[in-house]
Structure 1
Amino acid sequence: MRQMKLIGFMQAQNCSNYPASWRHRLSQPNFGSREYYEGIGRTLEAGKFHLAFFDDRLAIPDKYADDFEDTVRYGIRAAKLDPVSCALVMGLATERLGIGVTYSTTYYEPFHVARVFATLDLLLNGRMAWNVVTSLNDSEAANFGATKHLGHDLRYDRADEFMEVVLGHWDSWEEDAIVFDRESGVFADPAKVHRLDHKGKFFTSRGPFTVPRSPQGRPIIIQAGQSGRGKTFATRWGELMFVIYPNLTVAKRQYAEIKQSLTEQGKDISIAPAIYPIVAETQGEAEDRFAEIDGLAKPIDTLALLSEVLNFDFATKPMDEPFSSEELAAISGLQAVRDRVVLLSGKPSPTVRDFVQFSGRATLREFPNFVGSAKQVADGLEEWFSAGACDGFVVAATQVPGTYDDFVRLVVPELQRRGLFRRDYEGNTLRENLGLPKLSPAHRAN
């Protein structure tokens, strides 16, 4: 029987994906502590989640009005820790839970990324995943000494070559390269370690790589591209795809389109949309929780995060002024957000107010809500899963750690009772638990 994939959506910052989450009376303030990430990891592992993956940006949201004052004052994703460090803490506190981290192809070098993730994959015994992103805005560029973020399609062109280099390095050690023969003094067979000698448009990287292969071969690749160019990138490189769907109707259509594209390439990838579950013992209690959580959001949250994600200062336009076609085309950030607003508003030239309303950015409307008792939430998840809208879900928290605690305590047992979710891990590595084959090196001629 087909079963769901479940993924915990993490942030190494002062709030969850929902920026108002830190304002909740039960949210823990110790986001900078080891115990915070250890506790969440153990909860997700107890719930048999496939993995936890950490989203990231390389700048705080300061695009709105070209200032960071509101971001800092209202805690709008204002404190951002290094996600690799937080992910390693979580990984060392667990044994089977997969661990994913977002890392940019725009502001790092391929060899560096290859070594970081290969090392993490070894340390965690084959449980690592890399969420590949191209970054979003000029604020991130400024933190890395650039004056302007690369154009949307150019970022993906660069990222394609970036992936070739990283995967090339990961494949440079053969499975049985290490001999470790103390008597002969031979550590490894040099004939089974290969130089990459990559020379391309964007990168030159020689090798040989410095990290042997992990128990799962190499880390899992996660991708979230939903724009035209981003979707092409995602279906080419991804092994697990994270998406944002506004409702079931759109989800079924877009899921079918992606699956058709994958079929034409002879591939298949699990697709998991982000959701906000708010579950309690009864429907009434869950609705009360929803109302409380929903009331924590502030309008500035939305404006700050829209400006960040679209790389456009929303303070420069009146609320009811339409975007011109030229302005829309020039948006270089996450174009899937722009496309969502155009689709849901039905307007080819939406206004700032339309972006606020239909993007759902920084509100509970950004992701589909599943509110109710364990049975009611499970009913909603089963409807999406059975209707051909997804292969699982990325569970985002409205308050931490309560969302994860409630979901694992109430919803997971109900899904297991229905046969929709596993009762235990299938293996030790992330590939085994996702049902993906262990990859052998695919050596390339120098």
Structure 2
Amino acid sequence: MTQRRMHLVAYLKTGPTANYPGAWRHPESPLDDILQPERYEHLARVLEEARFDGCFFADTFGLSDTYRDGFATHLGRGGQISYLDPLAVLPLMARVTRHLGLGATLSTTLYPAYHLARTLASLDHVSGGRIAWNIVTSATDLEARNYGMDRLPPKELRYDQADEVLEACCALWEGWEPDALLLDKASGRFADPAKVRYAHYEGRYVRTRGPLSIPRSPQGRPGLMQAGSSDRGREFAARWAELVFVNAETAEDAAAYRADLSARMARYGRAPEECAVLPSLAVVIGETEAIAREKAEYLETLSDPELVLAWNSAMIGADLTKAQTEAEAVAAAGNTGIEGSRNRVLQVARQQGISFAEAARKPRGLLVGTAQSVADRMEAWFTAGACDGFILWPTISPRMFEEFGRFVVPELQRRGLFRRDYAGRTLRETLRGG
């Protein structure tokens, strides 16, 4: 029987800050290259050398301005911002790698189905079948306004629309048979039109005729990622996702999510192994436990409390200088915000015995220790069935990924928990091959 192996995916931003506000101030956090291709090419090489399944760029389509009615804190203090469109960066990363999966966050609420299908099929071709789509329905009215709407539709409607967008995209991707391209110079036949068909998709919210002008890509369709935490989001993930990432403060939280998702997947005729559940994780590694703690303590001195609150406000959808309780935050957020972010704050409050307002002011927790103790914690969650691997987000980028690849990955490999080489070329082959 083949041993089950972890999946590892990197959470990235096209900028120096990802989830740990203030880490960009660390002496080993480079800043002069955030707009340069070399930064992203180097990251791709580091992750592939460490045999990561892939990486994806988280994205918000605008500057967060929930906190104190503006973006001054978020921008001025160096919050989590996309300084480049990830779609411009992914082809650069594809050129310097051969196996690493490459993911983009794209919204089913903001983008038409034809545009999504065309863009993702193109990227899957130029990457040799390594593209993933992190599917979001968007969570802020600022994004809606940037794309010509007054506000976001209700969440339930957004997910209903997302289902139709996925159905339409699949119809477009499947419109070309795998052997439709002939490229036969002798006969003068470039393609077989009989093997290309219209989509003729028409739903309640989405309509597209097709066909795509782009041949079927190496994977047929991109790998599908999602982070649904609400009841409707989990239902969407159960139907479509091949990889789900969650915010879980404890193994019990992660295991409960995984069990719930598996039960939902069964109703769609899907087996649990068809979707990997990956909790998010960030690490601080030291040669000894004392060194690791010292590094973490220094990092904590760089954390900006106001920026922590500003970012949690953006994610929850409510100005947390005004909303002090969960109920107030839910009421203020209304139709916006990310339920998974609110749940994470609630988990911290429950675990530490503090109030919602106090938990919202705390930076995200870090796994601190030696390579061995970090691997111990990851192994415990994995072997207990709480997860199928981890999403790693960086404190200091790219240093954290470099250290993780140099120290933790060999330890996981020694224990037989992680691959020593890739099982295939496409992202889907990597996800299925373990």
Specify the TM-score bucket, using the shorter chain as the normaliser.
Answer: over 0.9
5+ residue gaps, structure 2? none
Shift of 1:272: 0.7
Q: Given that residues 14 and 79 in structure 1 are in contact (C-alpha distance below 8 angstroms), is that contact kept between their aligned partners in structure 2?
A: no
With over 3 angstroms needed to count, the CA separation of the structure-2 counterparts of 1:328 and 1:34, relative to structure 1, is same
Aligned equivalents of 1:217, 1:326: Cα separation in 2: 40
Q: Given that residues 136 and 308 in structure 1 are in contact (C-alpha distance below 8 angstroms), is that contact kept between their aligned partners in structure 2?
A: no
1:129 lines up with 2:135 in the alignment: no
1:414 lines up with 2:411 in the alignment: yes
1:275 lines up with 2:278 in the alignment: no
Spell out, residue by residue over 1:325-371, the C-alpha distance to the aligned partner (whole angstroms, 9 max, x if none).
97178353112233444565469xxxxx944443577x232xxx321
1:102 lines up with 2:114 in the alignment: no
1:333 lines up with 2:337 in the alignment: yes
1:372 lines up with 2:374 in the alignment: no
Aligned equivalents of 2:387, 2:307: Cα separation in 1: 29
Q: Which residue does 1:429 correspond to in 2?
A: 426
Shift of 1:310: 2.2
- Most deviating of 20-29 and 331-340: 331-340
Secondary structure in 2 aligned to 1:38? helix
Q: Given that residues 247 and 341 in structure 2 are in contact (C-alpha distance below 8 angstroms), is that contact kept between their aligned partners in structure 1?
A: no
Q: Which residue does 2:308 correspond to in 1?
A: 302
Q: Which residue does 2:390 correspond to in 1?
A: 393
Q: Given that residues 198 and 206 in structure 1 are in contact (C-alpha distance below 8 angstroms), is that contact kept between their aligned partners in structure 2?
A: yes
Q: Given that residues 246 and 279 in structure 2 are in contact (C-alpha distance below 8 angstroms), is that contact kept between their aligned partners in structure 1?
A: yes
Alignment of 1:211-222 (within 5 A): 211-222=214-225
Q: Which residue does 1:24 correspond to in 2?
A: 26
Shift of 1:149: 1.9
Aligned equivalents of 1:304, 1:329: Cα separation in 2: 14
Alignment of 1:283-294 (within 5 A): 283-294=289-300
Aligned equivalents of 1:360, 1:259: Cα separation in 2: 33
Aligned equivalents of 2:202, 2:267: Cα separation in 1: 30
Report the residue type matching 2:276 in the other structure. Answer: S
Aligned equivalents of 1:90, 1:395: Cα separation in 2: 18
Q: Which residue does 2:401 correspond to in 1?
A: 404
With over 3 angstroms needed to count, the CA separation of the structure-2 counterparts of 1:324 and 1:114, relative to structure 1, is same
Report the residue type matching 1:94 in the other structure. Answer: T
With over 3 angstroms needed to count, the CA separation of the structure-2 counterparts of 1:227 and 1:289, relative to structure 1, is same
Aligned equivalents of 1:130, 1:326: Cα separation in 2: 28
Q: Given that residues 130 and 222 in structure 2 are in contact (C-alpha distance below 8 angstroms), is that contact kept between their aligned partners in structure 1?
A: yes
With over 3 angstroms needed to count, the CA separation of the structure-2 counterparts of 1:396 and 1:78, relative to structure 1, is closer
Q: Given that residues 35 and 83 in structure 2 are in contact (C-alpha distance below 8 angstroms), is that contact kept between their aligned partners in structure 1?
A: no
Q: Which residue does 1:443 correspond to in 2?
A: none
Spell out, residue by residue over 1:293-322, the C-alpha distance to the aligned partner (whole angstroms, 9 max, x if none).
1221112212211221122233434x4x67
With over 3 angstroms needed to count, the CA separation of the structure-2 counterparts of 1:326 and 1:290, relative to structure 1, is closer
Structure-1-length-normalised TM-score: 0.91
Secondary structure in 2 aligned to 1:312? coil
With over 3 angstroms needed to count, the CA separation of the structure-2 counterparts of 1:104 and 1:372, relative to structure 1, is same
Q: Which residue does 1:42 correspond to in 2?
A: 45
Secondary structure in 2 aligned to 1:273? strand
Number of residues of Structure 1 aligned to a counterpart in Structure 2: 426
With over 3 angstroms needed to count, the CA separation of the structure-2 counterparts of 1:42 and 1:291, relative to structure 1, is same
With over 3 angstroms needed to count, the CA separation of the structure-2 counterparts of 1:89 and 1:247, relative to structure 1, is same
Aligned equivalents of 1:235, 1:354: Cα separation in 2: 32
Q: Given that residues 200 and 208 in structure 2 are in contact (C-alpha distance below 8 angstroms), is that contact kept between their aligned partners in structure 1?
A: yes
With over 3 angstroms needed to count, the CA separation of the structure-2 counterparts of 1:392 and 1:325, relative to structure 1, is closer
1:9 lines up with 2:11 in the alignment: yes
Spell out, residue by residue over 1:270-289, the C-alpha distance to the aligned partner (whole angstroms, 9 max, x if none).
11111011112111111111
Report the residue type matching 2:21 in the other structure. Answer: P
With over 3 angstroms needed to count, the CA separation of the structure-2 counterparts of 1:339 and 1:379, relative to structure 1, is closer
Spell out, residue by residue over 1:64-98, the C-alpha distance to the aligned partner (whole angstroms, 9 max, x if none).
12111112210112453101111221121111111
Q: Given that residues 152 and 333 in structure 1 are in contact (C-alpha distance below 8 angstroms), is that contact kept between their aligned partners in structure 2?
A: no
Shift of 1:246: 1.4
Q: Which residue does 1:255 correspond to in 2?
A: 258
Q: Which residue does 2:176 correspond to in 1?
A: 173
Q: Which residue does 1:233 correspond to in 2?
A: 236
Report the residue type matching 1:83 in the other structure. Answer: P
Cα RMSD (Å) of the superposition?
2.1
